[in-house]
């Protein structure tokens, strides 16, 4: 009886600990990486900011190198993106390298190195690079971007 009790406690502990570790889910990984790539494709083809952010939650938050504070909300991020893009600058291409997706139930964390090319308003082309993290949550059965952190590469 004591052995059975110990075994049940051990099994329960292992099950609880197992939920704290990320699962490897290739289907979810492909889905969230496709969402990031779709956003970049929408940007490079000149789609509206609303279309670019179609899979972004209303309470989205972001850290990026352009602003010294956390940006709270999809609406604020959309307004800033529209204002920045109004100068004629354009993203020509963007993609991810070294992508890794960690899945915790209905949360997926995508980390990667961003590589891209931008053209400024004067036509000068330059590389765009960052260390990036995107956090997705399954909301209403759909993966939505809820937080991102885009850090510069020195």
pTM exceeds 0.75, yes or no:
yes
pLDDT of 19 strictly over 90 = no
Q: Cβ of 3: how many Cβ atoms within 10 Å?
A: 7
- What pLDDT, on a 0 to 100 scale, did the predictor assign at position 107? 98
Residues 39-45 have a mean pLDDT of: 91
Look at the alpha carbons of 41, 89, 49, 103 in this order and tell me if their dihedral is positive or negative.
Answer: positive
Decide if pLDDT at 2 tops 70.
no
Cβ of 116: how many Cβ atoms within 10 Å? 18
Q: Averaged over 13-28, what is the pLDDT?
A: 65
**What band does 23 get if pLDDT is binned at 50, 70 and 90?**
confident
Percent of the chain with pLDDT over 90: 75
The stretch 4-14 carries a mean pLDDT of 39
> Residues 124-140: what's their mean pLDDT?
96
> 4 pLDDT exceeds 70?
no
Count Cβ atoms below 10 Å from residue 41 Cβ, excluding itself: 14
> What pLDDT score does 154 carry?
79
Residue 106: what pLDDT?
Answer: 97
Over the chain, what is the mean pLDDT?
Answer: 88
H/E element, 9: helix 2-19
Spell out the domains of the chain, with CATH numbers in brackets.
23-152 (3.10.450.50)
């Amino acid at each position: 009886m004591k052995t059975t009790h110990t075994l049940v406690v051990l099994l329960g502990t292992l099950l609880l600990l197992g939920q704290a570790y990320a699962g490897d889910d290739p289907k979810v990984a492909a889905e969230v990486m496709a969402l990031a790539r779709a956003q970049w494709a929408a940007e490079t083809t000149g789609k509206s900011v609303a279309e670019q952010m179609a899979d972004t939650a209303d309470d989205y938050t972001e850290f990026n190198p352009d602003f010294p504070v956390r940006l709270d909300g999809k609406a604020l991020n959309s307004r800033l993106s529209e204002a920045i893009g109004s100068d004629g600058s354009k993203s020509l291409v963007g993609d991810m390298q070294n992508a890794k997706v960690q899945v915790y139930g209905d949360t997926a964390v995508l980390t990667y190195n961003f590589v891209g090319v931008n053209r400024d308003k004067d036509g000068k082309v330059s590389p765009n690079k960052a260390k990036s993290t995107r956090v997705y949550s399954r909301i209403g059965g759909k993966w939505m971007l809820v937080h991102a952190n885009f850090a510069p590469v020195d």
